[in-house]
Amino acid sequence: MLAKRIIPCLDIKNGRTVKGVNFVDLRDAGDPVALAQYYADSGADELVFLDISATEERRKTLAKLVYHVAEKVNIPFTVGGGISSIEDVDILLHNGADKVSINSSAIRNPNLIDDLVAKFGSQCIVVAIDAKIINDHWKVHLMGGKVATELDLFDWSKEAEERGAGEILFTSMDHDGTKDGFANEALARLSATLNIPIIASGGAGKVQDFIDTFKEGKADAALAASVFHFKEIAIADLKKILKQNGIAVRL
């Protein structure tokens, strides 16, 4: 049985880590490089960095951040935010990222997934999907959740897999920052539909939420932010409890 992964997520805005609720009301959560080192030392399996700010210098700033993180941590990390070309990915991987996450750019140009997989391999390409329930259907959103599309979560996830994506990072916008648990029903359906790993995101608030998303949601990894940033849950303690509940984790 493959070990389940615990992944802290660092949303980056203007070089700082921030966290909000339902994608808004952001507050500062610390220096991303220092947090990355802390998580690597605390037993995190991987890290995800999402640049949510859009400045003209974003690419240079993000590349520099990736370089400094790679200097400090010895666990895999994924970088996303505004990535739309082979050149963007090449810069980030060259600076030390292990994977990249694409979202809006893949929706606008699905062939980007094929192109990146052909150039860098499936193992490097994560397709992130932000979705919320509209009229009883999970609808995919663009631009950090600001723009609704007609794309269905499950159809788009399957297409991303068929185009070669190595993983799906699914964030439930309805659950994001609420600490009321993950979208386990949708996650379980995704798990039944796809053959690639699924990272659950949005809703972590207590240890039981992680147990539930692995057992009920069938997620391969669980991503969280505020409960780790503000030290509400310690990763080492979380992993011990997961193991006690029969969930395979790396201690």
Catalytic amino acids?
11, 130
What own/partner pairs with CB < 8 Å and gap ≥ 24 does 92-95 have? 92/62, 92/63, 92/66, 93/120, 93/124, 95/63, 95/64, 95/66, 95/67, 95/70
Which residue carries 């909000």 as its tokens? 20
| In contact, 40 and 1? CB cutoff 8 Å | no
Provide the β-strand partners of residue 167.
126
Question: Which residue has 């297409």 as its token pair?
Answer: 159
CB within 8 A of 170, min separation 6: which ones? 128, 129, 131, 153, 157, 183, 186, 187, 190, 198, 199, 200, 201
Return phi, psi of residue 42, to 5°. -95, 0
- CA 97, CA 92: separation in Å to the nearest integer? 6
